[in-house]
Structure 1
Amino acid sequence: MIDPRTASATIDTDALRHNIDAIAHHVAPAQVMAVVKADGYGHGAVTCARVAREAGAPWLGIATIGEALVLREAGDTGPILSWLHGPEEDYEPAVADGIDVTAGTVDQLSSALMAAAACEKTARVQLELDSGMRRAGSDPAEWDHLCRAALECEQTGAVKITGIWSHLATADEPDHPATQKQADAFADAVAHARSVGLEPEIVHLANSAAALGHPELHHDAVRLGIAMYGIDPGDGCATRAGVELLPAMRLRAQLAAVRHVNEGDGVSYGHSWIAPHDTTLGLVPLGYADGILRAASGRVKVRVGNRTVPIVGRVCMDQFMIDLGPDAPDAVGDEVTLFGAVDGPRAEDWAEGCDTIGYEIVSRIGGRVPRVLEDGDE
């Protein structure tokens, strides 16, 4: 673990509350399912789950059963949906703790049924349709079979079908035709499930992008993922929706060293950057082991004081260099903001520079970077 004075990811819980509240108002009367998978996209799942519940989110979404159990161990007692289950997954702990599991196949439904028998509790199951993502969920050709098998299980009392859901592939692209095709396929599947006799408590399709940009797809709930953390799920999605998002993570560090280099000096591995003139370099004690993409080398800027300066040379495992300029006033111990400050840079800026998405920038920040809570209520 890095000393938090040296570097840390500050988590602004007020920003989390703001984002949840803003989107909850935008999607009402649909409910919000706050997605806190992958350790809350790097922000800390337990903290984000607590804040989401305090902000009124009735549901939490998580990828794995193990992640869901961590939330239960931390004291969360509300509805939680988990959706990524391996072929030999033990569903029993989830069923015992009242965690909703996902079934996209009859085999997964059978696993939930066996878990219910083992712990003598009703398994809460949500059915997932592959409406066009071609990733997980029931193939449309198998949907009728899955629905009828689910009804049979439900009639035994061992299983309760609590939800039906699917996931969108292109909701961040406003005019992409695949979104409407998926919406139509999902609507047909829900109608068919109801015609068979299933009565789900909750139907949900929209991710963050659809929550912001496709009100017709909100159904009973939206799954609030990256937007909860203050990162736009697509180019201008939040702006078009009139929703202000605030970054919830600020990644910062102290300058660990400041040194003069001469024109022509090579810097970092491979000497991929040669100083074009005499200048001053700063050493930032974070590297790709902490989630700082090596692709950021020479392509991203950070903030020092009231100015932005570039990363130079290759990002190393534990550190990287920045060009402070020839007459830099900076000293060891001065603050560097990598991203998340109100006046930038943003995680989206890093994503653009590294040819990726904001999701990856925040979720990659490693475990040795301490998370420091900034909570206006504490």
Structure 2
Amino acid sequence: MTGAVPPHPGLDGGPVYLDYNATTPVDPRVIERMWPSLTEYFGNPSSGHAFSGAPKAALERARGQVASLIGAAAGEIVFTASGSEADLLAVRGAVLASGHSRPHVVTQVTEHPAILQTCDALERLHGARITRLPVDADGRVDPAGLAAALTEDTTLVSVMAANNETGALQPIRELASLARRHGALFHCDAAQAIGKIPLDVGELGVDLLTVVGHKMYAPKGIAALFVREGVRLEPVVYGGGQEQGLRAGTENVALAVALGAAAELAAEDLASSAPNRIAALRDELHRRLADALPGRVRLNGPASGRLPNTLNISVDGAAGHEILAAAPGIAASTGSACHSGIHSPSPVLSAMGIEPARALAALRLSLGRWSTFGDIETAVTALATAVTGLALKDFS
């Protein structure tokens, strides 16, 4: 699967795609690898006849590819249907398997809703006690805050590797070390970080880690959870005993193969100059936008210690959703929530202490494998033209 990145037909002639953090296009090489499992090798991998051998071998090869990307053993990889399901298996699974009468879970306020709402459900349905740590102006958790929150009843700590809106990287190694010294498990949702920065579960010291296919050029509907050997979890789906008894149901071999292929490609990217190329594009996009809109562009999140592909900026005097509406040739996100036509600031930016006016003016521009300097030029022209055409607003 080595070689130059092939063209992606879905990106030809359409809007400039700057929303890779929302989802990535499926790499044609991934489709090529998974296709035989959709057509020729259709057997059930759990069967015992001639049609099951190839699907079973393909499934286990994919498991090994995902494991290799993160420094795990193949037997520590459990396939799931989504990152949200993997997060549920990790958090709910660890709490219910712990045996604590009132387990304590520590997370942080800018986690993905899959974590935060699972914690809410554990609090409501199982009497769990949840601590939600604040973040600083860069969106990071202070390890001292975690140390103060840990108790002898703490069952699990769950902190994401990188924020999906700002790209801010968390000090996972230090946080995981604190948790484990207190006898707590540590889960890391690495959906946004996988394939963009090197991650090794042994070096990080995590017990559970979420990998998501559609964030790394595989199709939607496939993810995986790393479960360190010896960690006990309550299953997320009961039944036939597939996936080490943690997630019953006949495996989706084709999508697992796709995730494995995507993991192999991600490892090749990380070994090459791909992350540096994307970071250079991101920085050029930032510089050109700042030049085109002098004095109006402000960076949200850290200038360093963030994902190489992620740029979150606010444009003074312009609402993010209005900018994108006026620039239909640009596909990007704002992070704000819209309810009945009323936009509210991003909870992530609000938690970082960013005032509502600036948060409402935010744009998340995320780049990826098929981003080019031509895309940057087009995006700067379109966004600057859109901003110039909007009436200057006072959101206060």
State the TM-score, normalized to the length of structure 1.
Answer: 0.30
User: Which structure: larger Rg?
Assistant: 1
Which protein is richer in strand relative to its size?
Answer: 1
